[in-house]
Amino acid sequence: MKFFVDTADLKEIKDLASTGLLDGVTTNPSLVAKSGAANFVELIREIAAIVPGPVSAEVGATDYETMYEEAKVLAKIAKNIAVKVPLTPAGLKVCKQLSENGTMVNVTLCFSAAQAILAAKAGATFVSPFVGRLDDIGSDGMNLISEICQVYSNYPAFKTEVLVASVRSPQHVVSAALLGAHVATIPPKVIRQLFDHPLTDKGIAQFVADWQKCGQKILP
């Protein structure tokens, strides 16, 4: 499974990229606003220079004509930009045109397997089903991941990768991996939670104590 970090915070991206665990970055208008960046295009350019993998940059418009013009601007920022469009008729029309021109596209705000089929037929590089938001309304977000993975596996011609979004916990990540999702885009806090286990902490404490008792050292 590939790990993308879901943030527009440059400090967080640089820190997590240094671990070697990141395969890409996703942003959205809400995350960009939260970052306080003065220039959206320049922010995306900086992010794309930090992480060599796909960097999702989302259009702001909802109508086809404006969306397509914005998409062309975003695609020119760097070679690793994945233009992010909503799963709407206009968004999929833009997706089809961009994908035919060799531009990566992330189709976002997917909430059904039917929508995911449309994204794949439009040539999306990634489709982003939002598991946390489905859980919030009493639905089962992981059931959607299961359905999409099953449908895509039935049709080898579909090259779209399932990018699990709206991840709220480490268990979301594990469940998505068990179902065969290609990518999870994860908030920085949740990525760091993946490291945590009380038995790991307990084991380290015991090893450190025993090492100190034996009086030996590795470095001169």
Annotated active-site positions, please? 84
Tell me the two tokens of residue 115. 């929508």
Question: What separation in angstroms does the CA of 106 have from each of 109, 166, 171?
Answer: 10, 14, 24
- Are 185 and 167 in contact by the 8 Å Cβ rule? The answer is yes
Residue position matching structure tokens 């979301």: 172
Copy the structure tokens of residue 90.
């206009």
Q: Measuring CA to CA, which residue among 129, 123, 70, 63 is closest to residue 97?
A: 123
Q: Are the CB atoms for 163 and 4 separated by under 8 Å?
A: yes
Residues 98 and 76: beta-carbon distance below 8 Å: no
207 Cβ partners below 8 Å, 6+ apart? none
The candidate with the shortest Cα–Cα distance to 84, out of 146, 31, 36, 39, is 31
Q: How many CB atoms lie within 10 A of CB 138?
A: 6
